[in-house]
Amino acid sequence: MSTNITSQNLEKIIPEAEDFLPLLGTDYVELYVGNAKQAAYYYQTAWGFQPIAYAGLETGLKDRVSYVLRQDKITLVLTSPLQPDGEINEHINAHGDGVKVVALWVDDATKSYEETTKRGAESYMKPTTQEDKDGKVVFSGIHTYGETVHVFVERKDYNGVFLPGYMPWNKPYKTASTGLKYIDHMVGNVGWNEMNKWCEFYAKVMGFAQLVSFDDKDISTEYTALMSKVMSNGNGRIKFPINEPAEGRKKSQIEEYIDFYNGAGVQHMALATDNIIETVTALQNRGVEFLTVPASYYETVLDRVGEIDEDLEPLKELGILIDRDDEGYLLQIFTKPILDRPTMFFEIIQRKGAQSFGKGNFKALFEAIEREQEQRGTL
Ligand code: FE2
C-alpha cells in the first residue's frame, strides 16, 4: 500500500480553496437496460427498492422509458429504448445492461461544468435548464472512463418527485426495504495500464485525492491479479476506486469484465447497511446470489481481525467477510454478477469504524471469483 490517507484527514490534504467541485453526494445512478420494466421489478422484489417516478410514452417521450426506484439515499434510474436506433440501443448492444450515468448532486451545475471542462474534461452536456410545475433543475455533464458519464444535478429550486418530465410512479406493489442506506463507493474497471490515467483524471479534473492503492502483490492469487487505487472527493462522500488488470498466469477478472463489457465501465456499487446480517438474510431469501468463501476462512478470520460485536456463526452461514484497519473493522459481501454477461455486481458493506475497502479479504474473494470464472471457461 503506497499511501494510507483516511477520510478524516482528507480535508487537511485537500485545502478548501482547492475543492473547486464541491459534491453533495451521489444524485442517482442510471442504467441502460434491455427491459426497464422487468429490471424495475427485479430491483423492487429482490432488493427492496421503492417505485418513485416514471417517464415514457405517457409523459410524452417517444424514444425511451425510465423507471426511478429509491431505497433511502440510493436512487436508481432504469432506462430502455422504445425505438430500434439511437445511443441507448448502441450502448446496450456494446455493453449489455450497464451503468451509463453516475449523477452527482451539486449546488451549481454551471460552475461544475466550467471548472471540470476547463481542467480537461470532455463535455457530455452543456449546462441545460429543465422546468416543470415543480420548479427547475440545471444539468451539465462530462465524460469519464469508457462510455460512462457524470451528470451534475443542481436541484435546489426543484420540489418534484424526481426531475422535470417525470410523473410520480404510484405502483401499488411495494416490497419491504432490505436496509440499504447509501452508496458507499462505486468502482470502475479500466483497461490495461489505464488506472493511473483515470486516477489523474479524477485528481486533476475533479479535484479528488488518492486514498489508498493496492498493487498486484496485494491483489493476486496463484493465477490472476489486478491493481487498484481509490480516489475520493474533498468531503469523502464520493469514493471511486479504479481497477486495471494485471499480469497473472491466467485471465484477470478485470480483463474478463473488459471483454464482456466491451471496454471500461462500472464494475460494482457498494451499498451500505447498518445491519449486514439482516440485509443479506433478506436479500438471500429473495433470491440474490452471493459469492461464497470456503468454511476454512472462518477458522482463522478472528485471529486476523480480532474481536467483533457480531456472532461469527451467522456471518459464516451467510458468507459475510470481515476485515480490520487502524480505525475499526468492516463487514462485506459481494453478489455474483447480476447480469447475463459477467460484468456488474453489488457489494453490501457495513462499516464499524474502518474506512478501508477490505484488502484482507481480497485473496479469499478473488479465489471465489476464479472458481466462478473457471465455470464460465474464462479463466
Ligand atoms: Fe468495493
Asked if the structure places residue 17 within a domain, the reply is no
Same domain, 109 and 44: yes
**Ligand 1 center–CA 273 separation, angstroms:** 14
**Ligand 1 center–CA 376 separation, angstroms:** 22
Same domain, 64 and 202: no
Q: What is the pLDDT of residue 217?
A: 66
Same domain, 206 and 161: no
**Ligand 1 center–CA 135 separation, angstroms:** 36
Rg (CA), the chain: 20
Asked if the structure places residue 230 within a domain, the reply is yes
**Ligand 1 center–CA 268 separation, angstroms:** 7
Same domain, 98 and 158: yes
**Among 114, 140, 168, where does a domain finish?**
168
Q: Which tens digit of pLDDT belongs to each residue from 282-322?
A: 999 999 999 988 888 999 899 989 999 999 999 999 999 99
Amino acid found at 253: Q
**Ligand 1 center–CA 16 separation, angstroms:** 27
Q: What is the pLDDT of residue 158?
A: 98
Same domain, 148 and 280: no
> Is the C-alpha dihedral spanning 197, 337, 75, 66 positive or negative?
positive
Asked if the structure places residue 74 within a domain, the reply is yes
**Ligand 1 center–CA 80 separation, angstroms:** 27
**Ligand 1 center–CA 297 separation, angstroms:** 19
Q: Which tens digit of pLDDT belongs to each residue from 189-209?
A: 999 999 999 999 999 999 999
Strands (E) located in the chain: 25-32, 50-55, 64-71, 74-81, 98-106, 123-132, 135-143, 149-154, 167-168, 180-189, 209-214, 225-232, 239-246, 265-273, 321-325, 328-334, 345-352
**Ligand 1 center–CA 363 separation, angstroms:** 14
Report the DSSP pairing between strands 167-168 and 50-55.
antiparallel
Q: What is the pLDDT of residue 317?
A: 96
Q: What is the pLDDT of residue 362?
A: 80
Same domain, 104 and 141: yes
Domain count, the chain: 2
**Ligand 1 center–CA 174 separation, angstroms:** 29
**Ligand 1 center–CA 38 separation, angstroms:** 26
**Ligand 1 center–CA 332 separation, angstroms:** 9
**Among 147, 168, 189, where does a domain finish?**
168
**Ligand 1 center–CA 356 separation, angstroms:** 9
**Ligand 1 center–CA 182 separation, angstroms:** 13
φ, ψ (nearest 5 deg) of residue 142: -135, 155
- Cβ atoms 191, 263 nearer than 8 A: yes
Q: Rounded to an integer, what distance in angstroms lies between the CA atom of residue 372 and that of residue 379?
A: 9
Same domain, 95 and 221: no
Same domain, 186 and 288: yes
**Ligand 1 center–CA 211 separation, angstroms:** 14
**Ligand 1 center–CA 329 separation, angstroms:** 15
Asked if the structure places residue 8 within a domain, the reply is no
Q: How far is CA 217 from CA 69, 224, 242, in A?
A: 40, 11, 17
Same domain, 216 and 351: yes
**Ligand 1 center–CA 331 separation, angstroms:** 11
**Ligand 1 center–CA 213 separation, angstroms:** 13
Asked if the structure places residue 338 within a domain, the reply is yes
Same domain, 144 and 195: no
Asked if the structure places residue 18 within a domain, the reply is no
**Ligand 1 center–CA 270 separation, angstroms:** 5
**Ligand 1 center–CA 52 separation, angstroms:** 27
Judge residue 287's burial from the number of C-beta atoms within 10 Å of its C-beta, 0-12 exposed, 13-18 middle, 19 or more buried.
exposed
Q: What is the pLDDT of residue 48?
A: 98
**pTM of this prediction?**
0.92
Q: What residue numbers bound the domain in which 158 lies?
A: 23-168
Q: What's the CATH code of the domain at 351? A: 3.10.180.10
**Measuring CA to CA, which residue among 33, 67, 28, 70 is closest to residue 49?**
70
Q: What is the pLDDT of residue 252?
A: 83
**Ligand 1 center–CA 187 separation, angstroms:** 7
Classify 379 as helix, strand or coil: coil
Q: What is the pLDDT of residue 169?
A: 96
Q: What is the pLDDT of residue 212?
A: 73
Asked if the structure places residue 9 within a domain, the reply is no
**Ligand 1 center–CA 167 separation, angstroms:** 33
- Cβ atoms 76, 43 nearer than 8 A: yes
Same domain, 162 and 195: no
Element (H, E) at 166: none
- Cβ atoms 50, 70 nearer than 8 A: yes
Supply the angle between the helices 253-261 and 362-376 in degrees, to the nearest 10.
50
**Ligand 1 center–CA 241 separation, angstroms:** 8
Asked if the structure places residue 256 within a domain, the reply is yes
Q: Which residues of the chain fall below pLDDT 50?
A: 1-9, 11-12, 15-17
Cell (9 digits) for 34? 434491455
**Among 112, 144, 168, where does a domain finish?**
168
Same domain, 83 and 151: yes
